[in-house]
Amino acid sequence: MFLRLVNRIAATVFVAIVSLASALTAAEPAPIAIALHGGAGTITRTAITSEQDAAYREILSSAIDYGHTRLLAGADGLDVVVEVIQIMERSPLFNAGIGAVMTWEGKHELDASIMTGANLDAGAVAGVTTIASPIAAARAVMEHSPHVMLSGAGAEVFARDQGLELVDNATFTTERRKNALEKYKSKVAARLTPDKDYKYGTVGVVVLDANGDLAAGTSTGGMTGKRWGRIGDAPIIGAGTYANNASCAVSATGHGEFFIRYHVAGDICSRMQYQGISLTQAADTVINGELARVGGEGGVVAVDVRGNVAMPFNSEGMYRASIDATGHKTVAIYGIDD
Amino acid sequence: MFLRLVNRIAATVFVAIVSLASALTAAEPAPIAIALHGGAGTITRTAITSEQDAAYREILSSAIDYGHTRLLAGADGLDVVVEVIQIMERSPLFNAGIGAVMTWEGKHELDASIMTGANLDAGAVAGVTTIASPIAAARAVMEHSPHVMLSGAGAEVFARDQGLELVDNATFTTERRKNALEKYKSKVAARLTPDKDYKYGTVGVVVLDANGDLAAGTSTGGMTGKRWGRIGDAPIIGAGTYANNASCAVSATGHGEFFIRYHVAGDICSRMQYQGISLTQAADTVINGELARVGGEGGVVAVDVRGNVAMPFNSEGMYRASIDATGHKTVAIYGIDD
């Protein structure tokens, strides 16, 4: 009688524990989140045709869905960052890979960087001209070299040794960017101020994966008409890209010189970590406070370890998309969620 | 009678105010301070001859005296940073300018950066081979280009256009660095771990000038045997160099890859500003806490707006010197003030 009672109680407790465990698992799957940008600038409804608007929204939407599906399946955050950035590097719509802007000499010099928040490993390439996927090269630097940042012809030797795909520099050229360079050079020749959009456009992705690890990556062709081996913020760890599981993952786009001087990506993470403020507060303070005050145009996408997403920008628009930990999806170009 | 009393009181008050004002001025001249490093690493009493020890101390002492005298005379902080770094760039004792380490190919690729805390203006050059003074080129980028960071051959075209002195790459070569490269390559060929000192050595200066402005600069030849256009922390604003009047000015030296990943210079300033801790606490936490924990060897020199100086390092030694706001002078190589 007593033993049966003990057995009954034990069985009940066992069932309760199993139910509780499965309830907990069902109620709180590991949060995942992803956000991406395709550049910030003077992007307004009047400057963009409805066809362009639709084309951008389609690729932003499909890229974010692809990344989210991969994260749901348990993919590593670094894999997702690289794969989603490669979707944009291959698209002529964005200033990265194919579709990159042109230098003063009519060439393409590409920059990229990547970082994992798990152990602060990072990699970057600057001023590369023949590497098909700069973000893949940045990851190879991180994983297969003792260095963080490689540049120019040397970085290409490294990429070749790593078996990465090399292409002719002209592979990245599009009519749109040729025209932009001509327009830029004629304005400079006439001593007129070029349209400020020559400075903008970069792609970037930040993720929280199912392991709870943050990662960030950025890839760009830089600034139309750039000279003298100019390096912007995109390949600078701490400026264009940063990730730390203790705070957040950030990828920036905008007028790179300001983003270097204000070490934007690192500063957003530092404010969150040291001031104990939210991701949204930290990102807003830097983008709409510090940078806006001095005319440093641009924006960031950022995610924290709870899967919160922030995508502030102080320019007219920023191509962007996100799916946060609650599953809420945003695809937008202009003002708030528009 | 009453008027005379009022006059007497007024005169007394006037004299008191004047005395007070002059007393305040005399008692508290604008604080100035300066600190410099000439590289960190496995620098021990047994590894250095007494002649080498004396030679390093002599140049560290004369360089810090020169800079302090200039600051006392009211010189601009940026001028002092450039001039004191140039003393070390011209000396074969340091890994910057003449005496720079050699790349895998037996060349010199030099990096430098500079920043002012007054308005966060900054400039940098990376991978330059023919510019006599990389720190002067970094300043020219800051003041005469729309960019923050220029690299490689492009940076040299810019420097030439700016009228900066260009020299043959071999100008920077010394027997000591030739031998170091040979030793490094033979160890690599034998699949042995090279002496870790191949990673270190850089020069840097931080100042608080009489206007109350902070400035920082760093110049280096990078890492012995470096390949693939490797860029270290020295030219990275936020990693090797940072200055912000709201917090501090920092110049770093050490295993550059760690200093990039931990955005060391920017992080020390952020901790001071956001956590409200002292310069010493912030610099110690990053160098002897964060970096030491992961094996990121090296150190920094740092100064704040009150003229406090911090020079923590987690390697065996760091060539360093400082004169703080109280006039206290330190010249040291090994452990505490030694």
Q: Phi-psi region for residue A180, left (φ > 0), alpha (ψ -120 to 50) or beta? A: alpha
Specify burial of residue A20 (Cβ count, 10 A radius: 0-12, 13-18, 19+): exposed
Q: Which two tokens stand for residue A250?
A: 């950030």
Give the span between the Cα atoms of A112 and B239, in whole angstroms: 17
| CATH code of the domain in which A273 resides | 3.60.20.30
pLDDT, tens digit, 9 for 90 and up, residues A196-246: 665 567 999 999 999 999 999 999 999 999 999 999 999 999 999 999 999
Average per-residue pLDDT for chain A? 91
Q: What is the dihedral of CA B322, B324, B327, B333, to 10 degrees?
A: -20
Specify burial of residue A193 (Cβ count, 10 A radius: 0-12, 13-18, 19+): exposed
Is residue B284 predicted with pLDDT exceeding 80? yes
Q: Where are the beta strands (DSSP E) in chain B?
A: 33-41, 110-116, 122-128, 149-151, 203-208, 214-220, 241-243, 248-254, 298-304, 309-310, 317-323, 329-332
Asked whether residue A317 is assigned to any structural domain, the reply reads: yes
| Cβ separation A228–B154 shorter than 8 A | yes
pLDDT, tens digit, 9 for 90 and up, residues A246-297: 999 999 999 999 999 999 999 999 999 999 999 999 999 999 999 999 999 9
DSSP line for A34-60: EEEEEEEES--TTTS-HHHHHHHHHHH
Asked if B24 and B39 sit in the same domain, the reply is no
One-letter amino acid for residue A127 of the chain:
G
For residue B23, give how far its alpha carbon lies from the nearest alpha carbon of chain A (Å): 38
**Percent above pLDDT 70 for chain A:** 90
Q: What share of chain A is helix, strand, coil (3-state, %, to 5)?
A: 40, 20, 35
Asked if B87 and B117 sit in the same domain, the reply is yes
Q: How many CA atoms lie within 13 A of B157 on its CB side?
A: 9
Asked whether residue A338 is assigned to any structural domain, the reply reads: no
Number of domains in chain A: 2
Q: Which two tokens stand for residue A283?
A: 């990102």
B35 touches A: beta carbon within 8 Å: no
Asked if B235 and B122 sit in the same domain, the reply is yes
Within 10 angstroms of residue B62's Cβ, the number of other Cβ atoms is 13
A157: chain B residues, CB-CB within 8 Å: 227-228
Question: Which of A157, A84, A98, A77 has its CA nearest to residue A125?
Answer: A157
Give the span between the Cα atoms of A68 and A330, in whole angstroms: 12
Q: Phi and psi of B320, rounded to 5°?
A: -160, 160
Model confidence at A336, pLDDT cuts 50, 70, 90, reads confident
Q: Phi and psi of B233, rounded to 5°?
A: -80, -20
Helix (H, G, I), strand (E, B) or coil at B183: helix
| Cβ contacts of A77 within 8 Å, gap of 6 or more | A71, A116, A207, A208, A209, A211, A213, A214, A215
Asked if A20 and A95 sit in the same domain, the reply is no
A60 touches B: beta carbon within 8 Å: no
Asked whether residue A202 is assigned to any structural domain, the reply reads: yes
Asked if B14 and B109 sit in the same domain, the reply is no
For residue B301, give how far its alpha carbon lies from the nearest alpha carbon of chain A (Å): 19
B274: chain A residues, CB-CB within 8 Å: 270-271, 274-275
Asked whether residue B338 is assigned to any structural domain, the reply reads: no
A142: chain B residues, CB-CB within 8 Å: none
Asked if A257 and A270 sit in the same domain, the reply is yes
Is residue A14 predicted with pLDDT exceeding 80? no
Question: Which of B221, B258, B234 has its CA nearest to residue B96?
Answer: B221
Give the span between the Cα atoms of A242 and A152, in whole angstroms: 22
Domain boundaries, position B20: 1-29
CA angle in degrees (0–180, nearest 5) for A118-B197-B186? 105
Report which of residues A2 and A219 the model is more confident about.
A219
Q: Under a CB-based contact definition with an 8 Å cutoff, are residues A120 and B293 in contact?
A: no
- Is B330 designated active site? no
Question: Which of B186, B208, B206 has its CA nearest to residue B195?
Answer: B186
One-letter amino acid for residue A68 of the chain:
H
B147 touches A: beta carbon within 8 Å: yes
Asked if B106 and B240 sit in the same domain, the reply is yes
Sign of CA dihedral A77, A81, A87, A93: positive
Interface test with A, best of B148, B196, B244 (most A CBs within 10 A): B148
pLDDT, residue B44, reads 80
Q: Under a CB-based contact definition with an 8 Å cutoff, are residues A119 and A111 in contact?
A: no
For residue A152, give how far its alpha carbon lies from the nearest alpha carbon of chain B (Å): 6
Asked if A51 and A200 sit in the same domain, the reply is yes
B256 touches A: beta carbon within 8 Å: yes
A335 touches B: beta carbon within 8 Å: no
Within 10 angstroms of residue A179's Cβ, the number of other Cβ atoms is 11
Give the span between the Cα atoms of B264 and B268, in whole angstroms: 6
C-alpha separations of A240 from A106, A112, A332, B238 in Å: 24, 9, 21, 11
Give the span between the Cα atoms of B252 and B248, in whole angstroms: 13
Specify burial of residue B246 (Cβ count, 10 A radius: 0-12, 13-18, 19+): exposed
State the distance between the two ends of chain B, measured CA to CA, in whole angstroms: 69
pLDDT, tens digit, 9 for 90 and up, residues B246-278: 999 999 999 999 999 999 999 999 999 999 999
Is residue A59 predicted with pLDDT exceeding 80? yes
Asked if B241 and B215 sit in the same domain, the reply is yes
Asked whether residue A122 is assigned to any structural domain, the reply reads: yes
* pTM, rounded to two decimals: 0.90
| Cβ separation B275–A270 shorter than 8 A | no
CB pairs under 8 A between A and B: 137
Q: Under a CB-based contact definition with an 8 Å cutoff, are residues A176 and A99 in contact?
A: yes
Asked if A10 and A61 sit in the same domain, the reply is no
Question: Which of B104, B128, B311 has its CA nearest to residue B228?
Answer: B104
Q: Which two tokens stand for residue B72?
A: 């006392």
- Sheet architecture: strand order including B110-116: B149-151, B122-128, B110-116, B214-220, B203-208, B33-41, B317-323, B329-332
Is residue B92 predicted with pLDDT exceeding 80? yes
B240: chain A residues, CB-CB within 8 Å: none
C-alpha separations of A203 from A224, A254, A318, B149, B284 in Å: 15, 10, 10, 20, 36
Give the span between the Cα atoms of B68 and B224, in whole angstroms: 32
Identify which of B145, B148, B229 has the shortest CB distance to residue A151: B229
| Cβ contacts of A73 within 8 Å, gap of 6 or more | none
Catalytic choice (B103, B173, B202, B224) = B202
Asked whether residue B168 is assigned to any structural domain, the reply reads: yes
Give the span between the Cα atoms of B266 and B248, in whole angstroms: 9
Asked if A105 and A24 sit in the same domain, the reply is no
Asked if A101 and A18 sit in the same domain, the reply is no
| Cβ contacts of B235 within 8 Å, gap of 6 or more | B111, B112, B113, B124, B125, B126, B138, B149, B218, B241
Please give the helix or strand (H or E) that residue A12 lies within, else none: helix A2-27
Helix (H, G, I), strand (E, B) or coil at B125: strand
Interface predicted TM-score (ipTM) of this complex, two decimals: 0.90
DSSP line for B53-99: HHHHHHHHHHHHHHHHHHHHTT--HHHHHHHHHHHHHHSTTSSSSTT
pLDDT, residue A24, reads 52
Asked whether residue B337 is assigned to any structural domain, the reply reads: no
Give the span between the Cα atoms of A47 and A196, in whole angstroms: 13
Q: Phi and psi of A156, rounded to 5°?
A: -70, -35
Residues B177-193, mean pLDDT to the nearest whole number:
87
Is residue A85 predicted with pLDDT exceeding 80? yes
Q: Under a CB-based contact definition with an 8 Å cutoff, are residues B288 and B281 in contact?
A: no
Residues B17-21, mean pLDDT to the nearest whole number:
53
Lowest mean pLDDT of A183-192, A268-277, B144-153, name the range.
A183-192
pLDDT, residue A155, reads 96
CA angle in degrees (0–180, nearest 5) for B68-B71-B77? 115
Number of H helices, E strands in chain B: 10, 12
Model confidence at A47, pLDDT cuts 50, 70, 90, reads confident
**Percent above pLDDT 90 for chain A:** 80
For residue A330, give how far its alpha carbon lies from the nearest alpha carbon of chain B (Å): 31
